[in-house]
Amino acid sequence: MKKIDKLLITSFIGPFVVSFGIALFVLIMQFLWLYIDEIAGKGVSIFIMMELIGYLSISTFPLALPIAILIASVMVMGNLAERYELSSMKSAGVPLIRIMRGLIISAAAIGFFSYLCSDFIIPIANLEFKTRLTDIRRQKPALALEKGIFNEDFRQFVIRIGDKESDGETISNVMIEDQTNAGRVKFNKIMADSGQMFTTENRRFFVMNLFNGTQYQEPGTVGDRKNDKYPFIRTNFGSWTKVWDMKEFEMVSSDKDRFAGNRSFLSMNQLRANIDSLQQVMESGKQAIADDLLLNLKRQPVKPRAPTINRDSLERVRQIRQQAEAKAKGIKSAVLRKQEMEAANAKPVRKLQVEQAPLNKPLGEYGSFLETFPQADRAKLMKDGFLRARSGISSVETRKAQIENRRTEYVKTGYELYIKYSFALVCFIFLFIGAPMGAIIRKGGFGYPILVSIIFFVTFIMLTIMCRKLAESYIMTPFWAAMVPCLTLIPVGAFLTRKAMNDSQMFSTDRLDRFLRRMRERFNKQKAAEPA
């Protein structure tokens, strides 16, 4: 390793560690304030709090590492430029990229470490943090019996203490309402003048000894004996002891498998497997919709209706046949003549016809698709079609909602995968923004470097949030939503590096100075030409 590389790396380590610590502290406090209301008052030990903060700090590594690189690179190059060491190196013929080689190797190593953390360490830390936070949420608040306050921490017991001595054990004016036998006892209250409360050495039980008190009880009604009357019971006692089990105040560990399916708890290989499975589920859902639509379009054949027989028409036909036979034999009677007259005046007999389907003719001659079916079957077909359409629409909407949920999960899972690469890549990109900025502004320390770093880091975070929203709105793919912030900063880094290599100012004001000078000269000439 060359001396110049050793100088840059040793100068980079100190500011990087300090910047990383500051960024980590700010990010931890930002996330910790979201859960402080759920943690406070639960009697959580300092070791559990340290464990919780440790898991939370590991999960914030991908955010803290880029800003630490940005601040440290600006500070290192700014210090070198401020002490003219950077100018001396360039005068000796050492280009800026060669000077930054040690920083480039360090940034690449930090980016690789960020990738490893995102793939292996952070999913485990997120799972442990979620499990421990759930345990704290489920835990009851720490036992705290304050004077003048009704305490309901103990199950089915309400305790009130009138006064408590400085030793924390001697109490007076104690009231306890027992609700354990709410069905059989309407009222059960204990009043005592004084007492003593303490926990056992192993903190397994909480004991309360009361002295000189009275217990009031009013029995309740049981079963059908609601009209029976029971006496009000009052019992005086000199000493009364109650022991509570403290097990319900202990923290119980949750099962980690119930949280294992969350996106933030999965490695990159698991995320890729989830993406493939979600894509297959969406494709199968779309195919199922198509199959359902094709199945509903297949109309079941309509069975032909049996011919309807009119009995009156058959009777008339029989009478006509009898008349024909009588005429043939030459037998004519008054009755037959009367029947002939009735038959002659009767309406013509319609021939029995079995209702047939419409004749086959070109489709253009039909007014609607419904006319291609028999008249008697149209109402049934309309009702059946309406039911089938409503069922098909309901099925399609259900499957569409399922596909939409899978699509949302697919986008979020894909973004969770590609953002890990994005945070690792931005560590390398920020070096080519911070180092040239330090060489250009020529200021070290924590003043200008932090100001410049915050501007670029906030820009990166805003782009990340905006692209994530665009991905969730299906405007961008998860890959491009994760990579666009990095791709946006690459031209900025290239521009700043080129400016620093050429020792040019970031923004030249020569043209503005020349324009202002011309305007000033023209104004002076016009003023001199005016008559006095």
Q: How many CB atoms lie within 10 A of CB 458?
A: 11
Decide which of 100 and 364 is more confident: 100
Distances (CA, A) of 47 to 44, 51, 54, 113, 234: 8, 6, 10, 27, 48
pLDDT of the residue at 307: 44
Ranges 37-41, 65-69, 106-110, 504-508: which has the least confidence: 504-508
Least confident of 235-249, 291-305, 428-442: 291-305
Q: Would the pLDDT of 421 be above 90?
A: yes
pLDDT above 90 (res 45):
no
Mean pLDDT of all residues in the chain? 78
User: What is the average pLDDT across 17-32?
Assistant: 88
pLDDT of res. 67: 92
Say if residue 253's pLDDT is above 80. no
More confident residue, 198 or 220: 198
Query: Which has the minimum average pLDDT: 91-100, 303-312, 472-481, 506-515?
Result: 303-312
CB–CB of 172/278 below 8 Å?
Answer: no
Least confident of 418-422, 489-493, 527-531: 527-531
pLDDT of residue 94: 86
Which pLDDT score, from 0 to 100, does residue 225 have? Answer: 57
User: In this predicted model, which residue has the larger pLDDT, 532 or 274?
Assistant: 274
Q: What is the pLDDT of residues 457-470, one digit of tens each?
A: 999 999 999 999 99
The residue among 348 and 169 whose pLDDT is bigger is 169
More confident residue, 283 or 147: 283
Distance (Å, rounded) from C-alpha 265 to C-alpha 136? 19
The reported pTM is: 0.64
Domain ranges of the chain: 3-139+415-506, 150-249
Q: What are phi and psi of 108, to 5 degrees?
A: -65, -40
- Burial label for 308, CB within 10 Å (0-12, 13-18, 19+), is exposed
- Give the pLDDT score at 357: 45
Q: What is the distance between the alpha carbons of residues 3 and 450, in angstroms, rounded to a whole number?
A: 28
pLDDT at 180: 74
pLDDT at position 105 is 92
- Of 480, 456, 459, residue with least CA distance to 470: 480
Q: How far apart are CA 329 and CA 399, in angstroms?
A: 80
The sign of the dihedral angle between the CA atoms of 208, 214, 220, 222 is positive
pLDDT digits (tens, 9 = 90+) for 343-357: 555 545 444 444 444
On the question of pLDDT at 506 being above 60, the answer is no
pLDDT of residue 140: 53
